[in-house]
Structure 1
């Protein structure tokens, strides 16, 4: 009943672990798979090791979390060691980033035989070294990165879009025209900040960061809804998903699957089983026999 697929990648349910801190090791990715996730996405990694920003890198705000981790990661050579340890219980997606098309191309080539798809992170609002949302805000640069990666890999290429643009549909159409196989939306909103009342200083070491969590769900939902009407590739929805009701909204808006990140921080890996049980119960009550029947129903 809960089965879905994107780019011919079959999933036992529509939930995925989103790219983030919990996807930095094979242990955490395998844990998510064993806990009920239909697929897992790694933490974004780049060509070389990156320490990221110094602490504090996260701060809680009303309705979510602001983080400025700075894409800390061990680099592709070291991360390949983690990918080798994946148990293969569910499909895996490598989230990769870079400063230019060549970076993305080089990383994708190295991991394409170890995962089921690559997700191009062109949209981090707090990245270091010109590797962030400035790329995903430019439809032409986004297209060049997609073309470069598509030329060298045989697995599906997914592009993760930023909401911090005037028209996300324009970016989506550009990525699809360049050949991407699916879209993930949205990355964190912002950048935003919090200020310490005692010191009068910004709390985050980087001052600004990207906001995730329940407060950004309405924006993410609108982005999925708008893009669904403009492209024909599968859409993976992400942003503020906490329970099965949120998943249903994203499916109705046009997503085929959803990614869950911040809610794992709040509720643990049990969130996947909880959501799937609620979703199955909802589908039985509404007489849905498949996820497919729900996709795009709002249009």
Structure 2
């Protein structure tokens, strides 16, 4: 079955991408499979200047998931462009840069630097970052700021597609989705992690030094699926589904509610080779359930009257 997908200015050999922050810059997973079997690699979050990230401990397991507060540890955009990007198979697989910044101007500057690189296929905007100039509220919790950041990135993105990654930590995901669309986004990706925490009753301490962390893994899939379903119905631009995908059936659930592609996150930690074979598993399962094509299956959920 043909698994090629085209959406939002991207053309991918299949609908399987790796989620930012769970696959490094991609090279770390090369020992576990052929990177060119993926539809796309979304690099870990990149900022203008290097970031050391949050203090340890910053990862904790939870039932059916995990909490993380890494703090966007990364070497900075210049090191990414000079060292990581040239080593990636960007001619064969789409490399998508994930942008982290603390104000709209920084987002624009970062977008301009990355958009100038031939090896970058698209820009993914992490609007879960805190806006330090507006009291620290995350961009993704304020529709006006989502639109402002999207506009700033789009102005500097040149011909690179702009994907906005939405947070589920909001009252109405559709308002945020429409704000990103109004700001000029070519497509959306959702969801980012849910806010959570864990404590140790014996030590009487938080399990994460940052106290509050991001919850990911199978536990969040129902929330992610609901958000994707609502976003697809609220906007006219394509949507990429993320959240708790650990099997071909999980991935196809997101396609069924209308996603054009998916991103695999926490499952990469459990099985470093998981993402490499997922597209083949999806194709086999589509054939098994009698779907004639990926396009025919997409968005074909039958809702109650």
Is the 2:39–2:94 Cα contact (8 Å) retained in structure 1?
yes
- 1:228 Cα deviation (Å)? 0.7
Match of 2:99 in 1: 96
Q: C-alpha separation between the residues in 2 aligned to 1:216 and 1:253? A: 16
- 1:133 Cα deviation (Å)? 6.6
Match of 2:85 in 1: 83
- Indicate how the Cα distance of structure 1 residues 30 and 171 shifts in structure 2: closer, same or farther if over 3 A, else same: farther
- 1:275 Cα deviation (Å)? 2.3
Q: Deviations over 1:167-204 (max 9, x none)?
A: 010010011011100000000011x1111232110011
- 1:19 Cα deviation (Å)? 0.1
Residue 109, structure 1, aligned to residue 112, structure 2: yes
Instruction: Count how many residue pairs are aligned between Structure 1 and Structure 2.
Output: 295
Q: C-alpha separation between the residues in 2 aligned to 1:133 and 1:160? A: 16
- 1:296 Cα deviation (Å)? 1.0
Give the 5 Å matches for 1:144-159.
144-153=148-157, 154-159=159-164
Q: C-alpha separation between the residues in 2 aligned to 1:49 and 1:30? A: 26
Match of 1:37 in 2: 38
Gaps of 5+ in 1: none
Q: Deviations over 1:8-49 (max 9, x none)?
A: 322121110110142236444796652732110000111111
Q: Deviations over 1:216-248 (max 9, x none)?
A: 000000001011111111100000000010011
Q: C-alpha separation between the residues in 2 aligned to 1:102 and 1:186? A: 24
Is the 2:22–2:269 Cα contact (8 Å) retained in structure 1?
no
Match of 2:224 in 1: 220
Give the 5 Å matches for 1:275-290.
275-290=278-293
Task: Choose 4-13 or 195-204, whichever is displaced more.
Answer: 4-13
Give the 5 Å matches for 1:143-182.
143-153=147-157, 154-182=159-187
Q: C-alpha separation between the residues in 2 aligned to 1:256 and 1:94? A: 19
TM-score of the aligned structures, taking structure 2 as reference length: 0.91
Q: C-alpha separation between the residues in 2 aligned to 1:148 and 1:95? A: 15
TM-score of the aligned structures, taking structure 1 as reference length: 0.93
Residue 122, structure 1, aligned to residue 123, structure 2: no
Task: Choose 145-154 or 273-282, whichever is displaced more.
Answer: 273-282
Task: Choose 177-186 or 144-153, whichever is displaced more.
Answer: 144-153
- Indicate how the Cα distance of structure 1 residues 16 and 90 shifts in structure 2: closer, same or farther if over 3 A, else same: same
Q: C-alpha separation between the residues in 2 aligned to 1:30 and 1:93? A: 20
Q: C-alpha separation between the residues in 2 aligned to 1:35 and 1:133? A: 38
